[in-house]
Structure 1
Amino acid sequence: MHRWSGRVALVTGASEGIGEAISRLLVKHDMKVVGCARNLDKLKAIDGELKKEEGGSFFPIQCDLTQRDQIYAMFEKIKTHHGGVDVCINNAGMAYPSSLLDGTPEEWQKSLDLNVIALCLCTKLSVQQMKERGVDDGHIILLNSMGGHRLIQGSNYLHFYAGTKHMVKALTEGYRDELRQKNSKIRVSALSPGLVESEFVVRLFGDDPDKGRKVLQTTPCLKREDVAELVVMVMQQPPNVQIHDILVRDTDQVK
């Protein structure tokens, strides 16, 4: 990770869960981490804790990634204060506990806006900032899901979410192909974890968070730090090695 020392990483959904774990670990590896989320208070609390530790630095930015004007404004702030993005980690995602036949257009649109459109826009703007500064060794990392590779029969409440993640699987290959066509050495990688012990599962069940907690208590799952360590592993590969996608789950996870 030495070559990333002092360089800028954007982590979306950084206020909790996997995004928080990634942010903390990259700061320990001496990176400048721009963490964005809607909850600025949580981001500031993380910043306060990280200031007491050795390593890089953490810069909170409040941003609702479903609002495109806020994404553009965030990238302008990054350019003004930090020069631009060297690593973009698209971590933010959401799901609604509705089956395909019971879901609403409003739920589908919000899921697409965050899981797909925001990911695409953050990736596009990150690559633009890299090119503007002549950065040709940048890295785009997309947090996909095992749900982007298979469906669990009977888990109706995850079907639309899995649909958005299947899009991320296709987008990963699309970005790799387009960058290769431009003879760019910017790398694109995806991580596809199974169940992870994080707030995502609790929020998934909305009005019944106890149901999400029960899932975490009764189902083998990865720690959020496990996924963060994989991000570092992907980033520290030599320039000629591009890890395309990692499918990872707890050893005891059944499906």
Structure 2
Amino acid sequence: MDHWAGKVALVTGASVGIGAQITKALAKSGMKVIAIARRLEKLEELATNINRECNGKVYPMKCDVRQEEEILQVFQRAEKELGGVDVLINNAGVASPETIIEGSTETYRKILDVNVLALAICSRQLVQSVKKRKASGHIININSVAGHYAESINMPISVYCASKYAVTGMTASLRNEIVNAKLDIKVTSISPGMVKTDMVTDILSNMDKEARKSFADLPVLHDVDIADAVIYCLSMPLRVQICEVIIMPHEALATKNPRPYARS
């Protein structure tokens, strides 16, 4: 991580869970971290704790990634106050316990806005920032095994799987475009299995008792595991680009079906 020391990272969906752990890990590694989410009070609390515990530099900024103008304002502030963004962690994501066949159009839109369109907008702005400064950059998309093995996801999560397949495709397209443009930006997709987060808890809480029981004993990852993967990818030598990381709970690989569920 030495080559990123003092550089600027931006983490979306940073207020809790995976995003909060990634923010902490980046700050401990010597980066200046812009943490964005809708709940500013949560971000400020996170920043206070990190800055006190590990002498980090976390800059909380309120942003609803469904609103393009708010994303653009964050990048403008980053350029004005910190010189620009070098590392982007596209972590913000939503799911829903609704089925597709009986779900609401608003739910479809919300999932696609957050999981796909916001990721595209943030990635575009990162590339433009790095290109303008003739610098180096890294985009890491927090994807999901749901974006690779939708057939193994048998719980209702609306168009979440479709959104994560879009992330898989977009990651590849971004990498090709960046290579063609001869820019020094790496692009990585990290695809975890089920992670113990508020979002997964909320989905399970909306299931009936019998359905919840079937998932109660499944092995899960922890948010810090994903943060460790982010640091691993960023720590590679400059000559190395990790394109895809799939992370599963060790116990899950001992089952007959090693891909029985999705992360968020």
Q: Which category describes the TM-score, using the shorter chain as reference length?
A: over 0.9
- 8 Å Cα contact 1:204-1:212 kept in structure 2: no
Aligned equivalent of 1:114: 114
Q: Take 1:203 and 1:211, find their aligned partners in 2: how far apart are those partners? A: 16
The aligned amino acid for 2:245 is: I
Q: 1:212 to 1:25 in 2, by over 3 A?
A: farther
- 8 Å Cα contact 1:7-1:86 kept in structure 2: yes
Aligned equivalent of 2:201: 202
Q: CA deviation at 1:127?
A: 0.8
Aligned equivalent of 2:175: 176
Q: Take 2:12 and 2:210, find their aligned partners in 1: how far apart are those partners? A: 26
1:206-242 deviation line (CA, Å, top 9, x unaligned)? 7679999978752210111011000010011112211
The aligned amino acid for 1:250 is: P
Aligned equivalent of 2:51: 51
1:251 correspondence with 2:254: no
The aligned amino acid for 1:222 is: L
1:186-221 deviation line (CA, Å, top 9, x unaligned)? 100000000001112123357679999978752210
The CA RMSD over aligned residues, in Å, is 2.1
After alignment, is 48-57 or 70-79 more displaced? 48-57
Q: CA deviation at 1:124?
A: 0.3
Aligned equivalent of 1:164: 163
- 8 Å Cα contact 2:37-2:64 kept in structure 1: yes
Q: Take 1:41 and 1:211, find their aligned partners in 2: how far apart are those partners? A: 37
What is the TM-score of this pair, normalised by structure 2?
0.90
The aligned amino acid for 2:38 is: R
Unmatched 5+ stretches in structure 1: none
Unmatched 5+ stretches in structure 2: 253-257
After alignment, is 60-69 or 196-205 more displaced? 196-205
Q: Match of 1:103, SS?
A: coil
The aligned amino acid for 2:130 is: M
Q: 1:65 to 1:33 in 2, by over 3 A?
A: same
Q: Take 2:199 and 2:13, find their aligned partners in 1: how far apart are those partners? A: 11
Q: Take 1:23 and 1:192, find their aligned partners in 2: how far apart are those partners? A: 18
- 8 Å Cα contact 2:18-2:197 kept in structure 1: yes
Q: Match of 1:60, SS?
A: strand
Q: Take 1:83 and 1:74, find their aligned partners in 2: how far apart are those partners? A: 12
- 8 Å Cα contact 2:11-2:35 kept in structure 1: yes
The aligned amino acid for 2:174 is: Y
- 8 Å Cα contact 1:100-1:156 kept in structure 2: no
Aligned equivalent of 1:26: 26
What is the TM-score of this pair, normalised by structure 1?
0.93
Equivalent positions of 1:1-255 (< 5 A) are 1-135=1-135, 137-153=136-152, 155-158=154-157, 160-204=159-203, 217-253=216-252, 254=258, 255=260
